[in-house]
Structure 1
Amino acid sequence: MTRTAAVLVRQSMARAAPEGVAPDEFLEAVAEDTYEMVAGLELLTPVLVTSVAGLEEIVWPGTEVITIAEDEPLKSIVKRLDGDQVVVIAADAPDLPPLLVGKLFRELGRAQITVCPAERGGAVALACGLPMPDWADPDLDDP
């Protein structure tokens, strides 16, 4: 079984920069920390998925970098990833415990999609087998 862990970086994540911190520097720092956490995990392949130019400098040599549009839907991004199972992790989650990434993959043994909730609502990571189930976004192709 091949597993891919994609760190998703969108320019809009820079809006979370604390006051007094340059948004682009903040975004690069959290993206790098999140990528380093993912790259340090065993039995998976790290990938950087980004709408931000220049971030290929934060990844280890040989890491695939996928360029996306800022508003590219998650289901479209997942379709561009390789492997039997994938997890997409928001780059603004540098403190996500690696154990939670493993738990997302473990739960795929009994669920088609697993989600790690974010502290203040929403999700920080999503894992699924490939291909992603059609029911996950039934309106993707609906104009």
Structure 2
Amino acid sequence: MFGTTNRKVAVEYVNPNITQALLQRGLEVIDAVDIVEGARIIKSDDEIACIRWACAVAEHGIARIQESMGPGVTEVQLWGNLNYTNLANQGGWHEGRMLASGPRINPWLQEATQRVIEEEDLVGFDTDMVGPFGYFCDVSRTFYYGKD
């Protein structure tokens, strides 16, 4: 190390091999998770604007899902509306295709299939999306399709 006598190094995700190598060089390894998490809670005005944009894109995709529910529509087609909306608005990708309907809604965490949405189905989904500028937006919703 040049210019300091401080022998501490903070590592966010400690790997045993890296830790041993650093210790062998006389460094003190400390866990950086708390340090990094503390820094992540500080948001600039630009970051807040990006978060708002990502959430607005998700909300727009959610509205498209709700508007698209109708006779003959499949789970995959509904989920595709969310994906398209995200991509069309400079978003990234989704952690999964979490959308299920009717008898498939429970247990949760089932991905969209070619199942056709039926009258009186519940349609549940989770956006799990990396939106514009890499900002994550995770919103869960359940809609009722049918007679009120």
TM range (shorter): under 0.3
The higher radius of gyration belongs to 2
Structure with greater strand percent: 1
Q: Which has the higher contact order (CA 8 A, sep 6+)?
A: 1
TM-score (norm 2): 0.24
